[in-house]
């Protein structure tokens, strides 16, 4: 069977527009079979399974949300992902839509590297959910705080009265976790962060954990919700237990002259910029 490349687009992306058509044409000229798919956040895990046999690369065209969904689908099949930014933030993507064709030529020529990003798996009973950014246990629209009990590698870590808790990968450290006061982790740091959400305490701070840590979040007497990458939720009843660990990862395609992490921080969230640009 001919090697394939998949193109996964956000539903609002017109796959007939010139940059997408040109990217597909270049791949076909290189002898690849090309398949396309328009993703939505509500689709089930495994939505791409029928297309993955013989696929060497999946190109995600959209924003960070599209890349998150694509990475979750690709991780189980160990297929690398190239993120193409056609959205607004584009924190995780590597190239602009206008440069997609040239980037794919470089990929074909072997002029790229792979950067491993951890994937989280959250288990509730016999159900499993995956996330590239974060796993969140939260109280939803309820006003009252909830009690959560947390264990790390089988040892008691703490009991919190809070809105919930978030476990984030290094990739997710610039997402929801950042808005809650969590640390920024370089994407190549093999670590997770644990943050209670709005805890009723002055002293509960984020904790950085090894990427190998296994975190268990238990609800002794409250109901809550589990959300993975902000895209999928399930309800949790009193006594529910969520087991979170990183069983593996996904490879993102990177180029030597691609986006510098610190330049990205400056451009997207103004990290490292002075309050006043010109002091003269």
Tell me the catalytic residues. 64
The DSSP-derived string for 199-228 is: -SSSS---EEEETT--EEEE-SS--EEEEE
Cα–Cα–Cα angle for 179, 183, 186, rounded to 5 degrees? 115
Closest CA to 134 of 277, 23, 242: 242
What's the length of the chain? 280
Count of C-beta atoms within a 10 Å radius of residue 157? 17
The label of the residue with tokens 């809070």 reads 162
Pairing of strands 232-236, 164-169: unpaired
50 and 6 Cβ atoms separated by less than 8 Å: no
Instruction: Quote the DSSP letter at residue 182.
Output: P
192 and 119 Cβ atoms separated by less than 8 Å: no
């Amino acid at each position: 069977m001919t090697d394939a490349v998949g193109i996964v687009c956000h539903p609002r992306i017109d796959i007939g527009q010139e940059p997408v058509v040109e990217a597909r044409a270049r791949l076909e000229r290189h002898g690849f079979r090309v398949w396309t798919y328009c993703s939505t956040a509500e689709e089930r895990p495994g939505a791409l399974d029928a297309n993955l046999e013989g696929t060497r690369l999946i190109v995600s065209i959209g924003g960070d949300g599209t890349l998150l969904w694509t990475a979750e689908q690709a991780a189980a099949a160990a297929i690398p992902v190239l993120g193409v930014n056609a959205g607004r933030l584009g924190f995780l993507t590597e190239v602009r839509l206008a440069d997609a064709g040239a980037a794919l030529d470089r990929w074909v020529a072997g002029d790229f590297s792979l950067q491993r990003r951890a994937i989280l798996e959250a288990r509730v009973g016999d159900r499993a959910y995956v996330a590239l950014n974060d796993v969140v246990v939260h109280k939803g629209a309820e006003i009252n705080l909830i009690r959560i009990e947390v264990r790390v590698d089988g040892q008691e870590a703490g009991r919190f009265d809070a809105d919930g808790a978030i476990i984030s990968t290094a990739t997710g450290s610039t997402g929801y976790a950042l808005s809650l006061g969590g640390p920024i982790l370089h994407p190549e740091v093999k670590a997770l962060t644990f943050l209670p959400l709005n805890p009723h305490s002055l002293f509960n701070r984020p904790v950085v954990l090894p990427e190998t840590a296994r975190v268990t979040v238990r609800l002794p007497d409250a109901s809550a919700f589990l959300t993975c990458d902000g895209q999928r939720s399930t309800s949790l009843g009193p006594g529910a237990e969520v087991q979170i660990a990183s069983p593996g990862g996904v490879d993102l395609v990177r180029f030597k002259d691609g986006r510098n992490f610190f330049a990205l921080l400056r451009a997207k969230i103004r990290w490292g910029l002075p309050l006043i640009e010109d002091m003269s």
